[in-house]
Amino acid sequence: MIRRFRAWGRIVLARLDGWFNSLYTWRYNPLYHSGALVVGCFVILLFTGLYLLLFYRIGSPYESVGNITAQWWGGRWIRGLHRYISDMAIVATVVHAARMFVQGRTWGPRALAWMSGVVLLGVFFLCGWTGYVMVWDVHGQVLATEGARIMDALPIFAGPIRRTFVGEEALPQAFFFLNLFAHILIPVGIALVLWIHVSRLARTYLMPPKPLFWTMTGLFTLVAIVWPIGMAPKADLLRLPTEVPFDIAYGFWLPFTQQMGPGWVWLAVIAAVASALLVPALMKPKAEKAPAPSWVNPRFCTGCEQCYHDCPYEAIDMIRRDDGREGFVGFVNPDKCVSCGICSGSCAPMGVGPPERTGRDQMVEVKAFMEEASLGGDDIVIIGCFHGAAGEGIREVAGAKVYQISCVGSLHTSVIEYFIRAGVGGVMIASCPPRDCWNREGVTWLEERVYNQREAELKDRVDRRRLRIVYAAEAELSVLEREVASFRSQMSALDRALSEQNIEIDVACVVPEVSVGEEIGA
């Protein structure tokens, strides 16, 4: 059932992605940047929080927040921004988690990121809880008393915590001091867990693109000005709170828990957290279906370090050779490798990659594809990544045959060269948008190899006019069809492509005793 739910979610997400791309372009599609938006929110919360801290008084919490709110020139909108952005942080976190879940990016080496993400969400909730209690209005009162009721179910306290909130006398300053201390300390914990969250990623991008970040900041500032947060009635422990301005993002659980005994609440919390933490185990495919990690063939490895630099997950190390040759050899750590195959595209001598997806395997495949498809000088071939518009199951788009590859980042440039030298009219590489690359940097490295001479580069002799890289998300088939039509029109202005026979692909740094020709059966 969980897999069916995931498949359904993926369809919904793909449609939403396509729709948002049409409105905001893939560069600024907020769904693609959900994780970075959370960090952006965190930064805004830090700055606005520092300002609010200047005016907050633990001796008169409600009154001091009231004074802040009365500052029409500053505190009023900064408090509103702080609160609205804290809700945005939760929304973006949930979107990010849902995205990772439906895309199946939760298990194996990614399990650490998933589980630390669950912890991050919990810490965010805790931070929000202390923030609302700080104000000590009726909403803070409800959160505090309900939290105390639930905590009292734990057999670790000498007396009921609820007695703190009986209304016998004013709450002591120490309570608000501890609360403030927690509200300031928890963000340090958030930063620490965030560090763990991204610890397995190379070249992490934490902040969203500046236009997106400033648009988000500007919009929420605008809303904070035109729709400011007012002051709810002051907490009064001798009155039951009735109409409470209630934050759904942080207090959605209140209407449920108020109907439940604290023991049941704990059971529900434990069940929810355990389910979330079990996702990596539940989503992990069976061993025979799980994609195998990359491996390095030491015979072909020249120790150039390119795979080590290109791996988006820092799964490749360079270790000293033990086969009598000088220098270093690549070593793939299978515990970190997600089998993205980007190393296949980074290795000029085709000596690394997941089994059956190395550059050598691709050359064998492309030869077979050409023989079967019998493409000519007027034809366009689309090299489509699994997760883009020419993804799994798509065989042809607007009359152009589709040759599929798990990720365009794993595409060896020799495959492009082979197609063009074999006489195909044009090669269109249909990738998912860079910010949605399931392997983080696939299309980035492909472009570098094609246009900027990054190692394992596309040779200068290949006519770039017969090549186009297109970004089209899963639901953007129409975008791809338009691009094919446009590319075909561009091709018509060129001379008919000539087909070479017995194509020899030069491979740099090949060890003398083995030629690529032998390996791929050329």
Q: Please give the residue ranges that form the binding site for another protein (CB under 8 A).
A: 22-24, 83-84, 86-88, 91, 142, 152, 155, 158-160, 162-163, 166-168, 215-216, 219-220, 222-224, 227, 229, 236-249, 254-255, 258
CA distance 333 to 318: 11
Instruction: Name the minimum Å distance from CB 215 to another protein.
Output: 7
For 318, which DSSP code?
E
Dihedral pair phi/psi, residue 5, rounded to 5°: -60, -40
Tell me the torsion sign for CA atoms 268, 270, 271, 277: positive
Torsion sign (Cα): 439, 440, 444, 449: negative
Distance between CA atoms of residues 46 and 23, nearest Å? 30
Residue appearing with tokens 């980042």 = 409
Shortest CB 46 distance to another protein, Å: 19
Sign of CA dihedral 35, 92, 38, 267: negative
Q: Which residue has 């995205």 as its token pair?
A: 99
Measured from the Cβ of residue 167, the count of other Cβ atoms closer than 10 Å reads 13
At closest approach, how far in Å is the CB of 102 from another protein? 20
Nearer to another protein, 217 or 499 (CB): 217
Angle, helix 75-102 to helix 61-70, in steps of 10 degrees = 100
Give min distance, CB of 388 to another protein, in A: 21
Q: Least CB distance from residue 478 to another protein, whole Å?
A: 14
Which residue in 86, 85, 66, 89 sits closest to 76, CA to CA? 66
Closest distance to another protein from the beta carbon of 383 (Å)? 29
CB contact set of 301 (below 8 Å; sequence gap of 6+): 329, 330, 347, 349, 351, 352
- Residue 54 CB, shortest distance to another protein, in Å, is 22
Taking the complex as a whole, the smallest distance from the CB of residue 175 to another protein amounts, in Å, to: 16
How many alpha carbons fall within 13 Å on the CB side of residue 104? 17
Contact, 408 vs 468, CB < 8 A? Answer: no
Q: Which residues contact 299 (CB under 8 A, 6 or more apart)?
A: 351, 511, 514
Min CB(37)–another protein separation in Å: 11
Q: Shortest Cβ distance from residue 236 to another protein (Å)?
A: 7
* Start-to-end CA span in the chain (Å): 46
CA–CA separation, 229 and 242 (whole Å): 18
Smallest gap, in angstroms, from Cβ of residue 366 to another protein? Answer: 38
Q: C-beta of 238: minimal distance to another protein in Å?
A: 4
Give 85 or 497: the residue with its C-beta nearer to another protein. Answer: 85
Residue 215 or 333: the one with the smaller Cβ distance to another protein is: 215
Q: Contact 478/446 with Cβ under 8 angstroms?
A: no
Question: Is 31 or 446 the residue whose CB approaches another protein more closely?
Answer: 31
Q: Which is nearer to another protein, 147 or 341 (CB)?
A: 147
Between 62 and 438, name the residue whose CB sits nearer to another protein.
Answer: 62
Considering the complex, state which of residue 88 and residue 329 has its C-beta at the smaller distance from another protein.
88
Smallest CA-to-CA distance from 399 within 468, 494, 484, 493 is with 484
User: What ranges make up the beta strands (E) of 261-305?
Assistant: 295-296
Nearer to another protein, 255 or 285 (CB): 255
Largest CA distance in the chain: 94
Nearer to another protein, 211 or 285 (CB): 211
> Which residue type does 315 have?
A
- The Cα 212–Cα 435 span in angstroms is 13
For residue 414, which of 333, 258, 299, 520 has the smallest C-alpha distance?
520
Q: Which residues contact 512 (CB under 8 A, 6 or more apart)?
A: none
Minimum Å distance from CB 237 to another protein?
7
What is the residue-wise DSSP string for 453-480?
A: --SSPPPTTS-GGGEEEEE-BTT-HHHH
Select 156 or 287, whichever has its Cβ closest to another protein.
156
30 vs 291 by CB, closer to another protein: 30
Round to whole Å and give the CA distance between 472 and 181: 48
Closest to another protein by CB, 436 vs 519, is 436
> For another protein, which is the closer residue by CB, 37 or 402?
37
Please state whether 305 falls in left (phi above 0), alpha (psi between -120 and 50) or beta.
left
